[in-house]
Amino acid sequence: MAYNWFVAICYPLHYSIIMNLQLCALLVLVSFLFSLLDSQVHNLIVLQFSYFENIEISNFFCDPSELLSLGCSEAFIINITMYFIVDISGFLPISGIFFSYFKIVSSILRILSTGRKLKAFLTCGSYLSNVCLFYGTCLGVYLSSAVSHSPRKGVVASIRYTVVTPMLNPFIYSLRNRDIKSALRKILRRTL
């Protein structure tokens, strides 16, 4: 999505040429292969550790941070492994997103019309808020588990990035709709 916005804002006249069917299919394939590789790295790392028997995981899915915290291996190795997983699944994608948004913001600031600037910022703002919500909670789960282990906080943060963020997608993206904005203003006026 970040590349899509980058091309739409920075190269609007070339959008249909750049974002063709082959590139979209390639982006989906690379995303699928990257997620497959990431899951296999998680599996390989977790399978290398020795674990206690008959332990119950206090999470609703087998999050790698939870599995690594249950290991009887050395804590230093577990923390290094955790930071490695965060680097692969968090830092690389978020750095690409920030780079593309840096280029988008610099392109938007060069627009002379204030109305067009505002429209471009509002278009990208909804996506960026969703990305920050997802990656913020996701990275928070992994980094906080390396510092202090709190199963309850891990469950709450995991629910936030696996359930709440996808549920907020339609709401965040519909805020650009004029009818939704006017209905939301009416509701806010009634409650205030």
Query: Domain segments of the chain: what residues?
Result: 2-49+63-191
Q: Is the pLDDT of residue 74 over 70?
A: no
Give me the pLDDT at residue 112, please. 83
Higher pLDDT, 122 or 36: 36
The mean pLDDT of the chain is 75
Q: In this predicted structure, what is the pLDDT of residue 27?
A: 87
Question: At what angle are helices 114-147 and 165-174 packed, to 10 degrees?
Answer: 170
Q: Are 19 and 5 contacting, i.e. CB atoms less than 8 angstroms apart?
A: no
Model pTM above 0.75:
no
- Say how far apart CA 166 and CA 88 lie, in whole Å: 22
Tens-place pLDDT, residues 106-137: 888 888 888 888 877 777 777 777 777 777 77
Q: How large is the average pLDDT for residues 85-96?
A: 74
The reported pLDDT for the residue numbered 75 is 64
* pLDDT > 90? residue 29: yes
**Cβ partners under 8 Å of residue 19, min gap 6:** 4, 7
